[in-house]
Amino acid sequence: MPTIAITGASGQLGRLALAALAARGEAPIALARSPEKSADLGLETRAFDYAAPDVGALAGVEVLVLISSNDFTDRAGQHARVIAAAKSAGVGRVIYTSILKGAESPLLLAQDHIATETALRASGLSYTLLRNGWYLENLTGALGAALAQGAVIGAAEDGRFSAAARADFAEAIAVTATTQGHDTAVYELAGDQAFTMAEFAAELGRQAGRPMRYDSLPEATYAEILTSFGLPEGFARILADSDAKAARGALQDESGTLSRLIGRPTTPMADAIAAALARL
């Protein structure tokens, strides 16, 4: 089997991907800016910073999983430097976690992903593009506040979200890293069952045993509220834009590619809500 390394190893998706690979009998290399944060993983861990990637940290790596950076100030630049380091190190293939619909996506969030896909294609490296849809965890992360106010808020109107759990997307990483036939492949990955946020709120209310509604707000108003919660203004604007574009189908995909790739149904929205409520 090839030697696999994963960037962002201490992050939420990175940890799940490492676990999915371990379940397949792999011993991937964990690449993290702060290796001490990954010490509990029991894997070989190497220091690796997106801002200044060390080519030496990629020695012997045949498949590099590039999990997109969470630095929104120079994300495309960071990715380009990682790709250049991978090429210098002789990496055989890069698996990149991109965004649903790629260059066709209207989301502000897509711009860095589009630039990264372009850089990968121009690099001459073999690559696999995992165009991830919305994470269910993006929607369940604020259930406590929603329950307190009796409403889920956003700007998505009646738009449908084909969301899946991070663990589903992590399994797609493990599959494409350990099996053949994924060179230059582009996968549009999303949840099996699309739903509106009104349906999400209704399911939350059913499980919590109290009335819940969905309040769809103007995009600018939603961004202001997110900023008041402590989110950086730029990130709040990106999230509000994503919601508003979801109203026009930007986060809906009915292809079923993710479930076919991982060989099982994706996590239902109701299950994600139940898991999040259990943690409150």
Side chain identity, residue 246: A
pLDDT of residue 232: 92
Closest CA to 195 of 273, 109, 264: 273
Side chain identity, residue 256: G
pLDDT of residue 73: 86
pLDDT along the chain (280 residues), means of 10: 93 96 96 88 93 96 97 93 98 98 97 98 98 98 95 98 98 97 98 98 98 97 96 94 97 97 98 97
Domains in the chain: boundaries: 4-132+164-188+254-263
Instruction: Report d(CA 251, CA 162) in Å as an integer.
Output: 6
Closest CA to 117 of 260, 179, 59, 105: 105
Instruction: Report d(CA 114, CA 109) in Å as an integer.
Output: 9
pLDDT of residue 1: 74
So what CATH class is 4-132+164-188+254-263? alpha beta
Joined together, the tokens standing for residue 216 give 């769809």
For residues 20, 188, 82, 239, the Cα torsion angle rounded to the nearest 10 degrees is -100
Side chain identity, residue 49: D
